[in-house]
Amino acid sequence: MEKTRVVVVGGGLAGLMSTLKITEKDIHVDLISLVPVKRSHSVCAQGGVNAALDTKGEHDSVDQHFYDTIYGGDFLANQTPVKGLVENAPGIIYAMDRMGVMFTRTSEGLLDLRRFGGVKNRRTAFAGATTGQQLLYALDEQVRYKEVLGLVTKYENWEMIDLLIDDNGVCKGVVAQNLATMEIKDFVADAVVIATGGAGMIYGRSTNSIINTGSAAAILYQHGIPYANGEFVQIHPTAMPGDDKLRLMSESARGDGARVWTYKDGKPWYFLEERYPTYGNLVPRDIAAREIYDVCVNMGLGVDGKNQVYLDLSHLPTEYLDRRLKGIMDIYQTFYGDDPRKVPMKIFPAVHYFMGGIHVDWNHQTKIPGLFAAGECDYMYHGANRLGANSLLSAMYSGTVCGPSVVKYVSGLNATAAETIGNLAELTVKKQQAEHEKLTKMEGKENPYKLHDEMSDIMYRNATIVRINKNLEETDVKLQEFQERWHNINITDFGGYSNQTVMYVRQLRGMMDLARVIVGGALRRNESRGSHYKPEFPKRDDENFLKTTLATYKNGAPEFSWEEVDISLLKPVERKY
């Protein structure tokens, strides 16, 4: 039998953790990434990572972490996988510490912990306000060492553009394109891991990075793999408004003492503290975002008459702030000019995280044998709303599940993909080369970037904090118009080398497909749950909607069905903060 080959697509935390786990069993990985893996979007995560380490004398526990996560997610997350997530959290944090992550320390030299939203205990380990960057760098270093050992071959600046799925419905690899030379090449593999993150670019401006188009997830969806809970998009309450990006101002600011306020009747009004006496500024993100929206849009009380309120750190000691929050204060000062140590920051909610994603089983395998997904691009751990600092955890944890699942799967194969694939790889490469040729010759009238702007504007208006059925219906009609107009794109870049526009036009098609999944799912879910809020249906409706939404691609459009949620460990109760 030939040597086993595995492909991992995506070099953020989930992709690197999967790679590490697979190579630790001496199986070679081809690692495909749009950017040098060290520049992946995981660097943008700031505030920390949750684990019930219970080092603060607060009787924190794995059970409490489980309860907070399920309750915070409004009971839509499958409970058995979440149990695994919280149980393994301390072990993962300690392993990352051994790898050299420069976590912030206590005076005794232990990992310090801070409080986060939807939680009463200090449970969040952190490295200042750049925790994602530090965790990513540690895994980047570990994988670089595996590269030196010959266990990893990196294909950085390559983009996955198709899957190799044979007639028996088994995954045999991917097809990817070199973003410099534009070469299209097959990567035949016995198993494939998709770890490609979220899709904030559907909304244009968000807290996400430029590469977060969801294009890989869209390719899986187009191949018939269901996309689950697409309508659950997290809106982060505190981002700084910007021309090109809505830059995240971490929840850890509030965890460390920041207060949210605006003026009412000429006096500061701490509306979160007033409305939620128990959790105050640390209510979960969906609630904080809705309250800020309400204060600005419905009450017209935004600061300076604009859609913005204050996030205020200025009452806290400078030395304390510099030690714990320098990362975000630097970003605010660089991009806005004001010093958050001295004056309150101005913030407004922004699209931040996709709770929904590729449907996988509890081993992170999709319905296609040999095709796995991990990290933000899957749908597993956060239900209807993700708690802050659970995303770095789920990104890493899903890699620790996915990696060993891949190892188990490939160990059970009787023949390698290379031996059994026939001419599938060759045919798919040819098909994609023809597709590429076609894209390079698009000479219609639409500028793709302007078309994207139109789509993201309407998505922002109608598919974020407040959802109204009439608007969702209109949006779905609009999206179909955009899909028509996509065929009339002018490629604008006629260069044969490093043609970013051709790749972008491919991604735009995927974004349009996923936008319809988000809108269609939202339209059908006539209730309010977690991040999904409909004033027409303000209550949660467990009888009809305690279900995972599944969108399956049929004749170019999503077809919707529903799946039961695993509630075997905790009986759903009303969610109140």
Tell me: does residue 247 bind another protein (CB under 8 A).
Answer: yes
- Choice from 495, 541, 544, 561 touching another protein (CB under 8 A): 495
Tell me: does residue 98 bind another protein (CB under 8 A).
Answer: yes
Residue 38 or 467 with smaller CB distance to another protein: 38
> Least distance (Å) from another protein to the CB of residue 261?
24
**In this structure, which amino acid lies at residue 32?**
I
- Choice from 307, 314, 420, 447 touching another protein (CB under 8 A): 447
Distance set, CA 82 to CA 50, 237, 284 (Å): 13, 24, 18
Question: By the 8 A CB rule, do 256 and 324 touch?
Answer: yes
How many angstroms from the chain centroid is the CA of residue 373?
12
Sort 496 into a burial class: Cβ within 10 Å, 0-12 / 13-18 / 19+. exposed
- Choice from 4, 29, 31, 38 touching another protein (CB under 8 A): 38
Tell me: does residue 493 bind another protein (CB under 8 A).
Answer: yes
Pick the stretch among 63-71, 131-139, 344-352, 531-539 that binds another protein (CB under 8 A): 131-139
- Structure token digits, residue 515: 């936008």
Residue 102 or 434 with smaller CB distance to another protein: 102
Pick the stretch among 34-42, 355-363, 459-467, 525-533 that binds another protein (CB under 8 A): 34-42
Pick the stretch among 169-177, 243-251, 252-260, 262-270 that binds another protein (CB under 8 A): 243-251
3-state secondary structure of 558: strand
Residue 91 or 556 with smaller CB distance to another protein: 91
Pairwise CA distance, residues 428 & 436, whole Å: 12
- Structure token digits, residue 560: 């919707």
Kindly state the DSSP code that residue 10 receives in the 8-state scheme.
-
Query: Which one of 285, 506, 540, 575 is the catalytic residue?
Result: 285
> Least distance (Å) from another protein to the CB of residue 333?
11
Pairwise CA distance, residues 559 & 503, whole Å: 27
Residue 285 designated active-site:
yes
> Least distance (Å) from another protein to the CB of residue 51?
11
Sign of the C-alpha dihedral computed for residues 476, 481, 487 and 491 taken in this order: negative
Size of the site for another protein (CB under 8 A): 76
Pairwise CA distance, residues 261 & 310, whole Å: 5
Tell me: does residue 105 bind another protein (CB under 8 A).
Answer: yes
Tell me: does residue 242 bind another protein (CB under 8 A).
Answer: yes
Residues 285-344 that bind another protein (CB under 8 A): 323, 327, 330-331, 334-335
If we measure between CA atoms, which residue out of 385, 134, 73 comes closest to residue 237?
385
- Choice from 3, 497, 543, 571 touching another protein (CB under 8 A): 497
Residue 41 or 115 with smaller CB distance to another protein: 41
Residue 137 or 553 with smaller CB distance to another protein: 137
HSE-up of 470 (CA within 13 Å, CB side)? 2
**In this structure, which amino acid lies at residue 5?**
R
> Least distance (Å) from another protein to the CB of residue 291?
25
- Choice from 36, 169, 268, 317 touching another protein (CB under 8 A): 36
- Structure token digits, residue 554: 């049929």
- Structure token digits, residue 260: 């949210």
Q: List Cβ neighbours of 453 (8 Å cut-off, separation of 6 or more).
A: 204
Catalytic residues: 285
